[in-house]
Structure 1
């Protein structure tokens, strides 16, 4: 709706500029820092000043003298060089509130198909909080892009040919180990314990590295497939269970070995050999100096077997051939590798991937390592979140049954984790702190509580969609604050999808919840003179918060 009023204001300015025979400029709007300065502001007078050689303040005054006030506006003013539009909230609010339905914020379908790869953790143990930022950013972005109209296919790239899997296979073949013997209910935890044990053994016996290399060669040559694939499938089974708990589901799991087996890797090498960038010195590599990349891209080992980088190129070419937009979610330590991929994709005639880099999560006591066994698994994180949520809900609600408490705790616990990660720009480093993630006074719990409060109020009022705004209702200031934010939601969705930034949705929801809580406190609803209008506001906030939380993979409880 805010986009509609922006378009109306833009159209009126274009007509005014045209009538003055001023040169046409790009008209952009911003939100003034204070509502007293209006709802939309533009600085086009600055741009016109350089073209007309006139004072921007005089230009603003001249323009507004020619502006015909469009629908939904009560006035337009010149404030120095700025042109400020003021919305008529009496007419605008009715139009907006009538337009908000259960699907509010969804944008029209687009023709582009997106393949978005995220998570893609090595299947050598359970997911830990070092992986979780990738998974949550990726899944939330996929949801936002779908809501914004894109055709989105999500991938988990399965590294089944890497050294980690060969180490696990070596352990099964040489340490007389059986995965079923390891403690734990989930296969990924069992495999993680074996991987840790093999790492310790190899540190004491480094000469065994050659045996690991031989296993890698054997698997690439089509041998030992049963045991390699059994390990990977069992670990993925556990990983999928964890992702399900986080409300994450991938459309496809693409195995790395696929690109060796179907000849894709061979085709990539043949294409690159036809360029003048290929070099051979014991190993095959790409010289990328012409791309301002000092480090060459190694393509094969000395024995001719492929590397992760080669298989990754084949995978990116596969994605490039099957969609319009390729998006990867990667840690900031992959920046060099991405530059190499971009250069190689240019040589191969494929699409350059869009990459969302994120900084890592660390624990207050330091970094994590699966190899050293220093990590908090996502399963442990979820259990702790639910446990803390149960304790908090018990303190607040003595009237609930245990089954109700556990249901709410699951929604609040998962929501707290997902929101804690989604709320920050990916470029910012994140130290995971329990007290911040599970704080019931701020963050996700406060947003979920606003939704639950709205549901409770509507239930008490026996609200139905036939309620109409009656009388000469004009929204007060707290109502205006809510209405302004409700109007912005589709634009926030659009901006979040366009910039590939999920934290915009998270920040918006916190603003809306805060505005609603203020409205709830200062604007009586049931029994008030404007009960109908205010109940409609409550309902529209409910719908918008629910839709926004869904974009972040978070459930909206109806009671807390």
Structure 2
């Protein structure tokens, strides 16, 4: 309903401004402060003051007088407050919101008939997923989720680096060393933890072995890389044996978040199908192409980039960026838009990639790159190359264990005996613990560095995942006590609901907040900023808790008609918070 109201306000403002002879290119629409009783405001009078030759409050008054609010369906009145125009919601707006939000699909927008591929995570398959990189799958998955809610046809891709030197080293080490040559077996029984020992052994050997032994190893590693470049099936199968096993384990870890993918696109695809080779020919034809320092490069200084982009070695082998350029052109052919989530250390490469794609004649308006800073623990930054870092599995294990402790501490014996058994406690611990990790990470702007802190992430009273999840559980509890299935909401209730009975400030504030949810989805999708949804959930939780404190739903002295209206509001709240959490990838527990 908020989207409909905003469209109505835009039309009314444009008509009023046009009638007054003012330009209509910027309407100055914004969210009003909490202490203002309106759902939308406009600061357009500031912009027009000089042109009108009058003070902003006078201009606002002229515009308000020109708007015929009797012709508006969702706006009851247009008031001025100094230079601002405030648009107050009508009863019909609130009633329509309540009706829409009692549907479990609330917040999903109409089909835009536009396809988007979201590439994220894409960590090299060299070992377990590391905490520092956990922000990529969490942000990437949330971006894909919010785009899906916003009506886009979304595919989620993991771009697999199976052609670089790291994978050649891994393959050589896997084939060269035996179990007795590597460190002792890991505690966690999953394939990537087992195989990463060979990768570490290979790197240690190349750093410390005798020169002749290193030369022989390097020759074999070079042979693997050249075999991949030449499309040799044997080389591809050798590398794939390692890559597929490690990637399988990594995806098991990511599934715990949960994060899943529609397709794993291998880098070698663009070597084997000739796309990378054909792209090299086009790059060499560019005016920016030079052969320097035994390599083909693009000089990009005239495009604001000081560092050259190397795309072909002197021995005729391509580089990661060469294949990635072919990869992106493939995405442009297959999808209307391409979104890539990248770590901050890829900022230069991202600029080089975009500029080169433009030089090759591509429309880079199709490409959106989301850069993020890394996640640290309070102890400091972490590294995986030598196995000295913190793995994502370890973080998730600890999150579940800490959440279990929080849940048990909050349970009294009566609740344990009457409602929650050990299986329930385990389920809630997983939902709250992993939800705390995801929420804490996705709720921050991507460009801001994060230091993950347990006390904040698992605080049931602060604005964290448990704080929001508890609202959903509370909604379910109220509905169940009223004999309503939380999954179907008010679908099974035959009594007509009168939204006009929701008269208290707390009821109206909650309903107006619910009405804004589709607009939050719309804006978060446009900006590729799922943290906007997290910010909304905190505000929503505050509004619901104020309603819960001040407006009893099932008390004996509540009028039956008011009771039904408040139950509908609870059902609408349940669907809203469940879908907002779904966008963030956070579970919505039925009980806590």
* Structure 1 range deviating more: 187-196 or 262-271: 187-196
1:21-60 matched pairs, under 5 angstroms: 21-36=21-36, 38-60=38-60
Aligned to 2:584: 552
Match of 2:574 among 522, 534, 542: 542
Residue 519 of structure 1: CA displacement?
A: 1.0
C-alpha separation in 2, matches of 1:318 and 1:445: 42
Secondary structure in structure 1 of the residue aligned to 2:516: helix
Is this contact kept in 2: 1:180–1:190, CA < 8 A?
Answer: no
Residue 102 of structure 1: CA displacement?
A: 0.9
Is this contact kept in 2: 1:196–1:370, CA < 8 A?
Answer: no
C-alpha separation in 2, matches of 1:96 and 1:472: 12
CA change 1:38–1:166 in 2 (3 A) is: same
Residue 303 of structure 1: CA displacement?
A: 1.5
Aligned to 2:521: 493
CA change 1:107–1:180 in 2 (3 A) is: farther
Secondary structure in structure 2 of the residue aligned to 1:300: strand
Match of 2:259 among 244, 248, 254: 248
C-alpha separation in 2, matches of 1:116 and 1:316: 12
CA change 1:422–1:193 in 2 (3 A) is: same
Aligned to 1:309: 321
TM-score by length of 1: 0.95
2:434 matches 1:433: no
CA change 1:516–1:198 in 2 (3 A) is: same
Secondary structure in structure 2 of the residue aligned to 1:457: helix
Match of 2:382 among 348, 368, 374: 368
Q: Structure 2: any 5+ residue segments left out of the alignment? A: 485-489
C-alpha separation in 2, matches of 1:364 and 1:162: 33
2:302 matches 1:270: no
* Structure 1 range deviating more: 281-290 or 216-225: 216-225
* Cα distance per residue 1:236-257 (max 9 Å; x no partner): 1101111211121111101111
Secondary structure in structure 2 of the residue aligned to 1:115: strand
* Cα distance per residue 1:164-213 (max 9 Å; x no partner): 22222222233334899843411111122222232233221384263433
2:216 matches 1:218: no
CA change 1:470–1:216 in 2 (3 A) is: closer
* Structure 1 range deviating more: 435-444 or 413-422: 435-444
Match of 2:361 among 326, 349, 365: 349
Aligned to 2:305: 293
C-alpha separation in 1, matches of 2:270 and 2:178: 32
Match of 2:295 among 278, 283, 289: 283
Aligned to 1:97: 98
Aligned to 2:487: none
CA change 1:159–1:279 in 2 (3 A) is: same
Is this contact kept in 2: 1:25–1:47, CA < 8 A?
Answer: no
Aligned to 2:173: 171
CA change 1:163–1:57 in 2 (3 A) is: same
Residue 462 of structure 1: CA displacement?
A: 1.6
Residue 22 of structure 1: CA displacement?
A: 4.8
1:341-420 matched pairs, under 5 angstroms: 341-352=353-364, 353-397=367-411, 398=413, 399=416, 400-420=420-440
Aligned to 2:243: 232
CA change 1:407–1:73 in 2 (3 A) is: same
Residue 312 of structure 1: CA displacement?
A: 1.2
Is this contact kept in 2: 1:423–1:506, CA < 8 A?
Answer: yes
Secondary structure in structure 1 of the residue aligned to 2:26: coil
CA change 1:21–1:379 in 2 (3 A) is: closer
Residue 338 of structure 1: CA displacement?
A: 1.0
C-alpha separation in 2, matches of 1:292 and 1:242: 40
| Aligned residue pairs, count | 559
Aligned to 2:479: 458
Residue 494 of structure 1: CA displacement?
A: 0.2
Residue 46 of structure 1: CA displacement?
A: 2.6
* Cα distance per residue 1:45-89 (max 9 Å; x no partner): 23333323233322222332332212343432222222222224x
* Structure 1 range deviating more: 41-50 or 512-521: 41-50
Residue 325 of structure 1: CA displacement?
A: 0.9
Secondary structure in structure 2 of the residue aligned to 1:36: coil
Is this contact kept in 2: 1:118–1:135, CA < 8 A?
Answer: yes
Residue 37 of structure 1: CA displacement?
A: 5.4
TM-score by length of 2: 0.90
Match of 1:445 among 462, 466, 475: 466
2:452 matches 1:423: no
C-alpha separation in 1, matches of 2:126 and 2:59: 66
1:512-551 matched pairs, under 5 angstroms: 512-527=540-555, 528-529=558-559, 530-551=562-583
Is this contact kept in 2: 1:141–1:502, CA < 8 A?
Answer: yes
1:64-213 matched pairs, under 5 angstroms: 64-69=64-69, 70-88=72-90, 90-100=91-101, 101-177=103-179, 182-183=185-186, 184-205=188-209, 207=211, 208=214, 210-211=218-219, 212-213=221-222
C-alpha separation in 2, matches of 1:477 and 1:522: 10
- Cα RMSD of the aligned pairs, angstroms, is 2.1
Residue 24 of structure 1: CA displacement?
A: 4.2
2:10 matches 1:10: yes
* Structure 1 range deviating more: 333-342 or 23-32: 23-32
Residue 359 of structure 1: CA displacement?
A: 0.6
C-alpha separation in 1, matches of 2:249 and 2:374: 23
CA change 1:11–1:312 in 2 (3 A) is: closer
Residue 355 of structure 1: CA displacement?
A: 0.4
Residue 275 of structure 1: CA displacement?
A: 1.6
Is this contact kept in 1: 2:29–2:44, CA < 8 A?
Answer: no
Residue 43 of structure 1: CA displacement?
A: 2.0
Secondary structure in structure 1 of the residue aligned to 2:501: coil
* Structure 1 range deviating more: 38-47 or 108-117: 38-47
